[in-house]
Amino acid sequence: MKKMLSFLMAMLMLLAAAPASACDEVYNPLPDHIAALFDVPAWDGFEVARCDDTDNWLSWVYSEEMDAGVVIMTNGSLHIVCLIEPDSKGNMRITQRNYKMVVGDAMPRVEVSWGNAYEQITPPWGEKRMFELVSNNGCHISFGKFDGVWRVKIVWDYVNNSIALVNDEKIGYIQGEVREDYVDYEMNRVKYVYGTYDNRFAAFNIYDFPRNLKDARAKLTNPPVTPTDFYTPVNVTLRANEKYDVFAAPGRSSYRAANGKAELSTNDWVQIFGEEDGWLLVQYDIGRDQMRFGYIAASALPKNTQVQALRWYDLPEQTVKANTYVTDDPLVSRDIICWLNAGDKVEVLSDFGSWYYVEVTPGTGRTLRGFIPQTAVDLITWDGLAK
Cβ atoms < 10 Å from Cβ of 122: 13
- Which pLDDT score, from 0 to 100, does residue 194 have? 92
Range of the domain at 191: 23-219
> In this structure, are 81 and 204 located in the same domain?
yes
4 assigned to some structural domain: no
- Separation of alpha carbons 191 and 315, rounded Å: 50
Domain final residue, candidates 177, 196, 219? 219
Query: Residue type for 273, please?
Result: F
Nearest one of 273, 278, 283, 284 to 297, comparing CA atoms: 278
List of the chain residues with pLDDT < 50: 1-22, 387
Residue 269's φ and ψ, nearest 5 degrees, are: -70, 145
pLDDT in tens, 285-327: 998 789 999 999 999 999 999 999 999 999 999 999 999 999 9
CATH number at residue 350: 2.30.30.40
Domain final residue, candidates 219, 253, 276? 219
- Separation of alpha carbons 108 and 129, rounded Å: 19
Strands 324-327 and 336-340: antiparallel
Nearest one of 363, 293, 305 to 334, comparing CA atoms: 293
244 assigned to some structural domain: no
- Which pLDDT score, from 0 to 100, does residue 23 have? 53
- Which pLDDT score, from 0 to 100, does residue 18 have? 42
Strands 290-297 and 279-287: antiparallel
> In this structure, are 215 and 323 located in the same domain?
no
232 assigned to some structural domain: no
96 assigned to some structural domain: yes
What dihedral do alpha carbons 251, 252, 254, 256 form, nearest 10°? 130
- Separation of alpha carbons 64 and 112, rounded Å: 10
352 assigned to some structural domain: yes
Domain final residue, candidates 200, 219, 238? 219
pLDDT in tens, 100-113: 999 888 899 999 98
52 assigned to some structural domain: yes
Residues 6+ apart with CB under 8 A from 129: 63, 65, 66, 112, 113, 114, 115, 144
- Which pLDDT score, from 0 to 100, does residue 118 have? 56
Count of structural domains within the chain: 2
295 assigned to some structural domain: no
> In this structure, are 82 and 212 located in the same domain?
yes
305 assigned to some structural domain: no
Determine which helix (DSSP H) or strand (DSSP E) holds 346, and give its type and residue range: strand 345-352
- Which pLDDT score, from 0 to 100, does residue 5 have? 42
- Separation of alpha carbons 309 and 307, rounded Å: 7
Please report the DSSP string for 175-228 in residue order. Answer: E-EE-SSSEE--GGG-EEEESB---BGGG--TTTS--SHHHHHHH-B-PPPPPT
